[in-house]
Amino acid sequence: MRVSELVATSGVPLATVKYYLREGLLMPGKPTSATQSTYGDEHVERLALIKALAGAGLSIDRIGTVLRLIEHPKASLFETLGRAIAELPPYDVDVPDYPRAKAALEKLGQVYDPRFVAVAQLERALRAAEEVGIAMTDERLEVYGRHIRGIADYDLSLMPDSVEAAVEYAVIGTAVYEPVITALRRLAHHDIASALERPEQ
Amino acid sequence: MRVSELVATSGVPLATVKYYLREGLLMPGKPTSATQSTYGDEHVERLALIKALAGAGLSIDRIGTVLRLIEHPKASLFETLGRAIAELPPYDVDVPDYPRAKAALEKLGQVYDPRFVAVAQLERALRAAEEVGIAMTDERLEVYGRHIRGIADYDLSLMPDSVEAAVEYAVIGTAVYEPVITALRRLAHHDIASALERPEQ
């Protein structure tokens, strides 16, 4: 397809497509003349991926890092996934130590790598809960841990086999489904609270 | 306690305490002279609550709205909770219609109010998932819905009886535990991926 069709199909404006081409985020099309190139499905898919990552709050630099990890994964899938997920927000997480996260993860019996930003993220969130008087308890950790494990098991059961596709699935699945999960929890609260208020029904 | 002690106990700087007093977010202390007042535990608790709400990204105006709802709840707990939770981010959610959210909530058999911002939030998240090729399926919705329901049931089972305390618990619990849940999901993915990579163990 011509670039005008790529713009129409992807919904990404021409100036943005050109910018992604210049930045190397979008692979070049196949030249058909000195000034024109032709594009394929892989360009449409790449633009959807860039759009999703940008929508999840990633800067152009971070999107580039994720795309390079998809194109050139590290030897270990585990490491590649960890690095790619670390490019997703939140970033302003800086904790000198992570005693609460460590205790929680050990109670859950999980393997973890403290360099993985989600550990610091968990530490900060657990500290905030403590400060406002709703500290994590063993019971809440057991309930949350069990249900989140159920969700994560399902997520991983659908992970594609190829490393490239797996990294893409993991990054996009994390970025795109976190707001689904938080919205569903708010709506479940709402539904349960409404039933509490109308016990006669 | 004197204001200096309130500052030390709460960890909120004096200038900020004075600002909250001026804005009416913090109730005045009991005057002990023309220029001095004395403060109690309710001030320490209020400052922790303001800190938590500010930490969750709420503006001063929105914090004021939440505090007024806690102090003067509406006739219905359901409505009060809905209004208070609506003050939490994200805000930039504007959808003309919500076909995906409607279908999902009906499949889950949940009561919902389309004016509740989480409906729009869910619509936007489901649309984003669709655009990147990981659209919500019936199976994923069933798995996610069941586990999120388990978490929400637990949350609500601990909700205090008084309306004031219930609103505070719901707002803070939503704001503070969403990052706990998303961090735990990332860490569960990491743990499961690490086990996949070392099948011999």
Distance from CA of A80 to the nearest CA of B (A): 11
- In a 13 Å sphere around the CA of A39, the CA atoms on its Cβ side amount to 23
Residue B83, pLDDT score: 86
pTM of the model: 0.84
Q: Which of B126, B142, B186, B194 best tests the A interface by mutation, with the highest count of A CBs <10 A?
A: B186
Residue A109 CB-density burial (10 A; 0-12 exposed, 13-18 middle, 19+ buried): exposed
The pLDDT score that the predictor gives to residue A79 is 82
3-state secondary structure (DSSP) of residue B35: coil
Which band of pLDDT confidence, cut at 50, 70 and 90, is reported for residue B91?
Answer: confident
**Whether B98 contacts A175, CB under 8 Å:** no
Chain B hits for A188, CB-CB cut-off 8 Å, are: 110, 145, 148-149, 151-152
Q: What's the average model confidence in pLDDT over B55-82?
A: 86
Position B92 pLDDT exceeds 70: no
Tokens 């303001």 found at: B50
Which residues of chain A neighbour B180 with C-beta distances below 8 Å? 122, 125-126, 129, 136, 144
B49: confidence class by pLDDT, cuts 50, 70, 90: confident
Give chain B positions within 8 Å (CB) of A119: 183, 187
- Candidates A113, A122, A187: best to mutate against B (most CBs of B within 10 A) is A187
Asked if B144 has any chain A CB less than 8 Å from its own CB, the reply is: yes
pLDDT in tens, B97-132: 899 999 999 999 998 888 888 899 899 889 888 887
Whole-number pLDDT of residue A64: 94
Residue of B nearest to A198 (CA): B78
Give the pLDDT confidence score for residue B198 in this predicted structure. Answer: 57
The mean predicted confidence, pLDDT, of chain B is 88
Tell me whether the omega of the peptide bond preceding residue A90 falls within 30 degrees of 0, making it cis.
yes
Kindly indicate the confidence band of residue B200, based on its pLDDT and cuts at 50, 70 and 90.
very low
pLDDT of residue A201: 41
Instruction: Report how far residue B59's alpha carbon sits from residue B87's, in angstroms, rounded to the nearest whole number.
Output: 9
Q: Does residue B151 belong to the interface with chain A, where contact is any CB pair within 8 Å?
A: yes
Does the pLDDT value for residue B63 go beyond 70?
yes
Residue of A125 and B196 predicted with greater confidence: A125
Q: What is the pLDDT of residue B93?
A: 64
Strand B37-38 with B30-31, pairing: antiparallel
Measured between beta carbons, the chain B residues lying within 8 angstroms of A81 are 189-190, 193
Run of H or E residues at B172: helix B163-197
Asked if B91 reaches chain A (Cβ–Cβ under 8 Å), the answer is no
pLDDT at residue A175, as a whole number: 85
Residue A48 to residue B152, Cβ atoms within 8 A: no
C-alpha A187/C-alpha B119 separation (Å) is 7
State the pLDDT at residue A196. 73
Among B77, B122, B132, whose Cβ lies nearest the Cβ of A187?
Answer: B122
Q: Is the pLDDT of residue B169 over 80?
A: yes
Report phi then psi at A72, rounded to 5: -130, 75
Q: What is the mean pLDDT of each run of 10 residues along chain A (201 residues)?
A: 94 94 94 92 90 85 92 80 85 80 96 86 89 90 97 92 84 89 93 72 41
* Domain B1-56 coded CATH 1.10.1660.10: yes
Q: What is the pLDDT of residue A85?
A: 87
Task: Give the relative orientation of helices B14-23 and B3-10 as an angle to the nearest 10 degrees.
Answer: 110
As a whole number of angstroms, the distance between CA A167 and CA A66 comes to 9
Residues contacting residue B19 through CB under 8 Å, at least 6 positions apart: none
Residue A100 token pair: 């609460």
pLDDT for A63 equals: 94
Minimum distance, in Å, between the CA of residue B34 and any CA atom of chain A: 33
Q: Would the pLDDT of B68 be above 80?
A: yes
What local confidence, expressed as pLDDT, does residue B80 receive?
85
pLDDT at A193: 84
Q: What is the mean pLDDT of residues B76-92?
A: 82
Query: In the predicted model, is pLDDT for residue B30 greater than 90?
Result: yes
Distance CA B25, CA B46 (A): 8
Q: Which residue has the higher pLDDT, A148 or B55?
A: A148
Examine the pLDDT at B48 and tell me if it is beyond 70.
yes
Give the ipTM of the model, two decimals please.
0.85
Alpha-carbon distance B150 to B186, whole Å?
19
* Per-residue model confidence as pLDDT tens digits over B174-193: 888 999 999 999 999 988 88
Round to whole Å and give the CA distance between A6 and A45.
Answer: 10
Q: Tell whether the model's pLDDT for residue B201 goes beyond 70.
A: no
Mean pLDDT, to the nearest integer, of B27-54? Answer: 90
**pLDDT (tens digit, 9 = 90+) per residue, B145-165?**
999 999 999 999 998 888 888
Q: What is the pLDDT of residue A163?
A: 80
Report domain extents, chain B: 1-56, 57-197
